[in-house]
Structure 1
Amino acid sequence: MKKLIKVTKSWEAILSRLPDNKCNSRIIVTTRIEHVARACSSASLEEEYYIHRVKPLQFEDAKKLFINAVFGPQQDCPEHLKDIIHKILTRCSGLPLAIVCIGRLLAGYRSPEGAVEMWTRVCNSTGSLMENNPTLDGMRHIITLSYNHLPHHLRACMMYLSLFPEDYVVDKRRLLYRWIAEGLVSEQRGLTPMEVAESYFAELVNRHMIQPSCTETLGTLMGCRVHDMMLDIIVCKALESNFVSFVGGQCRDPSYGSVRRLAIQSDDLGSSIENTNLRHVRSLTTFRPQGHRKLLDRLAEFTLLRVLDLQDCKDLQNKHMKHVCQLFLLRFLSLNGTDITKLPSQINKLQHLQALWLIGTLLIKVPESLVDLEKLEHLGFKNKHDRTILLRLPRHIRKMKALQSLYRFEFREDDAQLAEEIGDLVQLRVLNVVLNCSNCSEAKVLTELAKSMGRCSQNLCKLFLEDMHFNANNMNFLLELPSPPKFLRVLYIGGTIDRTPDWVQSLTQLVEIVFWWTNLPSDEIYGVLYKLPNLSKIILGKRCCSEDKLVASGAFKFPQLKELILGPNDGKPRVFGFEEGAMPKLETLEMNFHKEDMILDGVQHLTSLKEVRLHGWKHNSALHRAVDQLKAHSMSRHRSEQLKIIVTYF
């Protein structure tokens, strides 16, 4: 048994609950605090403490890390900066976080004209603190310097992350919508607010101010974390400027007369919240599932609220929604993961609402009045317990001209009028439609949907099409689109289709494609997709292929393909193979083993492969054969090019 335990209580309390079962288990504790390390060691004499002190980087390794952070991998150090780089690295004392922070800070100052002056100024700002005393205080000094050198708009966005608890994985989409709702994203000509917010997020990642943490099933980076030392700094900055207030977590009680952004990080609100003036709160976020009923009963007092994020709040009840519908300035509302079963018709009073998230709720319908929210840009739904429970869009959806994303709403055979109205939503960038009709391949609803997709094609960049009746051939309507969307970046087809639509080959901007239940011949998969110039990720899910073997020929060069995911598979194909010369840029391969006779063949031909992720039952012999095969191939490579092999058991 292997476990990773985060210790939040005293070590003695944890130790007393661990079984002494003589299984030769080992416990590794990481800490920056000496006395914690000693307390966790079982030795009685100081010289026998089982403490491993991580050594700082050697100068040459530190130099490589720094140059990579500033100039990119495999770049050389410019002659005019060599002396100042040596001085900076000396002051960083071989600590990787300090090196990366300073490196990303200086990455924006590389021109010969002003680089030396700026780099010298930054070097002098670090002082000799790190050089003489490479401790936590020195590290905080370096990190604070990186934060202080951020542009004003990025400092505000960075400070906003102080709302989230330590080690919390922040969903990117959630964060960006909140930035926009809070007015932290400036207008830029020719760009949507979401595109500007995306650029802010990317810049913070590039500067190593936030740490990328995960990717979504269908694509790009979707989450981030904040390093705990960085979080300490931005929390202090946020509290000093009254940018945020906390209950629990970093600060027990709101300590200001005027609370602007309130984060609940504790199950126990305490008595202080009862006396807190809530009229000036602009943002309310709960991070604990329970203990909020007194606060929820006071929702009507949050008259200036712009952001209400109650994700996973189990105390939220239908009765509280009447208060929510009185928050007339609300721009962002997340009820994700709550147990509400009804959305009141008074929701149409929220005339400034821009984003409404209903993912993982118990709703079975939305009110017709929803279409009165003419400023709403983003709307998403998914039932908590049953993926077959779908919401129907209300009539007159064409009134919602501002809509940019619609997630997981159903179309039935009698929804031709609704399908036609979708075409009036010309701002749509993301459309997720589920077909829920057993035999409507020639019905008017699909004819109208095809026309609407053409009318929205100028802005549509993500298209998700699912069929609840996988074998109904409803997806064949895609074969004859009158005006295909030309600028798609993500395409998901989930249902049986006779062939890959011809227009897919014209999608020069497509970076991700997903096939589930398509039941396509093998040459309609790789034989079509390899021609796409920017395709970087392919996901092939259950029953994507009708043949026993799916083999990537050496002719299938895939100019930009970096990641291939072979999803759950309980039928065909049985063999996944790669011929010599196939997919020369593929770096990541992921595969699920659901059957004992599955075969992974030709991995040695994937010359750029770096990481392989395998999933399956622990006793699956096909999985074990694949692991042995990969290990043998990895050992045949040069040490610096060996594979990272990750195995996850169901």
Structure 2
Amino acid sequence: MEEQASRILKRCRGLPLAISTIGGLLANRPKTSIEWMKMHEHLGAELESDLRNITKVIVSSYDGLPYHLKSIFIYLSIFLENQEIRCTHLLRRWMAEGYIAKNRDMPVEEVGERFYNELINRSMIQPSKKKIIPGVRVARCMIHSMVRQIILSKAVEENQLFLIEKQCNEVPQSKIRHLVVSKWKGREEKLENINLSYIRSLTIFGECPVSLISPKMRLLRVLDLEDTINMRNEDLRHIGELPHLSYLSLRGTEISKLPSSLQKLCYLETLDIEDTKVTKLPHGIFKLEKLRYLLAGVNFSKDLLQKLVQPEMNNKNTNLLGNMAPFLCCNRMDYCNISNMDQLSVRAPEGIEKLRDLHMFGAFNVGQGNGVGGRLGKLTNLQRLGVTVIATVKMLGTKLQQGQVDILGNLRSLAALWLWERSYTGESLCFSAGKFPKLKFLDIDWLENIETMEFKDGAMPELERLWLNNCKALSDNGEGLSGVPYLPNLNELLVKKCGEKEKLMEILQWQVSEHRRRPKFLIGKSILPTASKPSTSASVVQ
């Protein structure tokens, strides 16, 4: 019986609603292996004859959703069949549409993510198997084609959505809220007859119709042009005349310049210009005080996030990381991605520190001497930062893992690195040979979980100063901090507020005494004298 049940489940292709329908069919049959085998053999015919039952189950499941989930679920009818939908893409659109109410005790992003997880747990949407990455939330989802057809018909029936496709002949006469243009084939006469004044979202898949973005869309909140073909700069000339626009995505388009009228969008929360040709933001961008997500430059996470969970990178990719100017993206919440094309970022504009509500900011070039990098500390709500750097990197709350530190070590021009509180999650930290070739200063502070730290022979050949502060979990033996003799240019070793480490201190004291450069060994402000080779019983270093 179990074997037959397993085969039947496979035929349901992961659709829980189909499983429920098949369960209803099996309930009326004898519970024998032979009977279930016959059911499996004739399942196609049974499903066809009972297709209405599956539809009823889906409709019933939709009707049974709580009110707060119904609107955001039917909103999924906007996306194409079999399309992988990014969680962040969906959440930001929900926020812009006002579907996620602000909660006094919880950030709106967390509320939205709870709704998203509820739909997954109810099997109304499915995690994308192609994008499952260990340790990362369900980053992408899909909606079953049968489910989409049902909610699409509901959305059209309720005048919520109108879908323009290449075979479309009719034009809606009613007030529609969401307009989707798919596989456009230059039929501008149809668009001229559509009443655009009530549209709240415009989504385009494929080619963008000429001059579709119009001042007539006075109520537009979402303008989603991601991966649109043949987008031109002049197509955005009316963008400043959309006063309620909250979400603007130009990701993956050929746009190279944003109009200065962008600064008029006082309700804009998301500006996504990743993977475009835009290298400079318009003057006055700092006036967008409600901006929460400012995404620019090249999105390396498409490839790198997958690479970060693989055992090792191939030689081609390693060379790419090592030989080009560095790109760094740090995330307090999830991960840190690194690549190396800093020419594919945008210059951080003057006044960017006035965007106090920014939650996500990157990728921006702060190495042009304009002083912007030093003012980022005023962005107190920032959770994810992506910048291109020339010499220094400071990590705080990034929760890196060993593999990500190894990739960080490929930044050839990196001269100073700060690893501060919650920047690293492991108990052991190892710096491998060939990594951090130009690093001169390393400051490790408040990594409370670190028990062992090791420098391999050939790591950090130019390191001059090594500071350890508040790392109280360090082992009180040679493994607590090993490999100091492998740092040929070390001038200063500082160990401060790491607790009483009698054996470790004696070992380090002897190692620096034997070091060819005789570096200073400091505990706080005290410089320790030279020492003889440590014995098995060590004395306390004051």
Q: Deviations over 1:330-384 (max 9, x none)?
A: 0000011111111122211000000000011111211231111111000111249
| Pairing 1:151-170 to 2, within 5 Å after superposition | 151-170=66-85
Counterpart of 1:472, as a letter, is S
Q: Counterpart in 1 of 2:201? A: 283
Q: Does structure 1 retain, via aligned residues, the 8 Å contact 2:166–2:184?
A: no
The answer to whether structure 1 residue 408 and structure 2 residue 363 are counterparts is yes
Residue 201 (structure 1) shift: 1.1
- Distance across 2 between alignment mates of 1:187 and 1:316: 34
Q: Secondary structure at the match of 2:362?
A: strand
- Distance across 2 between alignment mates of 1:340 and 1:132: 48
| Pairing 1:623-642 to 2, within 5 Å after superposition | none
- Distance across 2 between alignment mates of 1:192 and 1:280: 30
Distance 1:429 1:293, change over 3 A: same
Q: Secondary structure at the match of 2:244?
A: coil
Q: Secondary structure at the match of 1:301?
A: coil
Q: Secondary structure at the match of 1:313?
A: coil
| Pairing 1:482-521 to 2, within 5 Å after superposition | 484-485=421-422, 502-503=444-445, 505-506=447-448
Residue 277 (structure 1) shift: 0.8
The answer to whether structure 1 residue 273 and structure 2 residue 191 are counterparts is yes
Q: Secondary structure at the match of 2:237?
A: helix
Distance 1:154 1:462, change over 3 A: farther
Counterpart of 1:91, as a letter, is G
Q: Does structure 1 retain, via aligned residues, the 8 Å contact 2:293–2:359?
A: yes
Residue 272 (structure 1) shift: 2.6
For normalisation by structure 2, the TM-score amounts to 0.61
| Pairing 1:367-386 to 2, within 5 Å after superposition | 367-383=282-298
Q: Does structure 2 retain, via aligned residues, the 8 Å contact 1:429–1:462?
A: no
Residue 485 (structure 1) shift: 5.0
Q: Does structure 2 retain, via aligned residues, the 8 Å contact 1:392–1:411?
A: yes
Higher Rg of the two aligned structures: 2
Q: Deviations over 1:407-448 (max 9, x none)?
A: 211221624x3223211111111112221x2xx45xxxx6xx
The answer to whether structure 1 residue 302 and structure 2 residue 217 are counterparts is yes
Q: Does structure 1 retain, via aligned residues, the 8 Å contact 2:208–2:231?
A: no
Q: Secondary structure at the match of 2:65?
A: coil
Q: Deviations over 1:116-170 (max 9, x none)?
A: xxxxxxxxxxxxxx99985322211112221111111111111011011111111
Q: Secondary structure at the match of 2:365?
A: strand
Residue 190 (structure 1) shift: 1.9
Identity, % of aligned positions: 28
Query: Aligned to 1:470, which of 399, 404, 411?
Result: 411
Q: Secondary structure at the match of 1:262?
A: strand
Q: Give the gaps of 5 or more residues in structure 1.
A: 1-54, 71-85, 95-129, 509-517, 522-530, 532-545, 547-650
Residue 215 (structure 1) shift: 2.9
Q: For this pair of structures, how many residues does the alignment match?
A: 383
Higher RCO (CA < 8 A, seq sep 6+): 2
Distance 1:140 1:392, change over 3 A: same
Q: Does structure 1 retain, via aligned residues, the 8 Å contact 2:21–2:54?
A: no
Residue 287 (structure 1) shift: 0.7
Q: Counterpart in 2 of 1:245? A: 162
Q: Deviations over 1:552-584 (max 9, x none)?
A: xxxxxxxxxxxxxxxxxxxxxxxxxxxxxxxxx
Q: Deviations over 1:251-296 (max 9, x none)?
A: 66442421210011122263332111101111000011x2511424
Q: Counterpart in 1 of 2:174? A: 257
Q: Does structure 2 retain, via aligned residues, the 8 Å contact 1:157–1:184?
A: yes
The answer to whether structure 1 residue 321 and structure 2 residue 236 are counterparts is yes
Q: Counterpart in 2 of 1:212? A: 127
Q: Secondary structure at the match of 2:278?
A: coil
Distance 1:254 1:164, change over 3 A: farther
Residue 199 (structure 1) shift: 1.0
Q: Does structure 1 retain, via aligned residues, the 8 Å contact 2:423–2:447?
A: no
Q: CA RMSD in A?
A: 4.3
For normalisation by structure 1, the TM-score amounts to 0.52
Q: Secondary structure at the match of 2:294?
A: strand
The answer to whether structure 1 residue 174 and structure 2 residue 89 are counterparts is yes
- The structure 1 segments of at least 4 consecutive aligned residues displaced by more than 6 Å after TM superposition are 60-66, 86-89, 130-133, 460-469, 486-489, 498-501, 518-521
The answer to whether structure 1 residue 189 and structure 2 residue 104 are counterparts is yes
Q: Counterpart in 1 of 2:320? A: none
Q: Deviations over 1:561-613 (max 9, x none)?
A: xxxxxxxxxxxxxxxxxxxxxxxxxxxxxxxxxxxxxxxxxxxxxxxxxxxxx
- Distance across 2 between alignment mates of 1:348 and 1:87: 52
Q: Secondary structure at the match of 1:478?
A: strand
| Pairing 1:79-228 to 2, within 5 Å after superposition | 90-93=23-26, 135-213=50-128, 214-215=130-131, 219-228=136-145
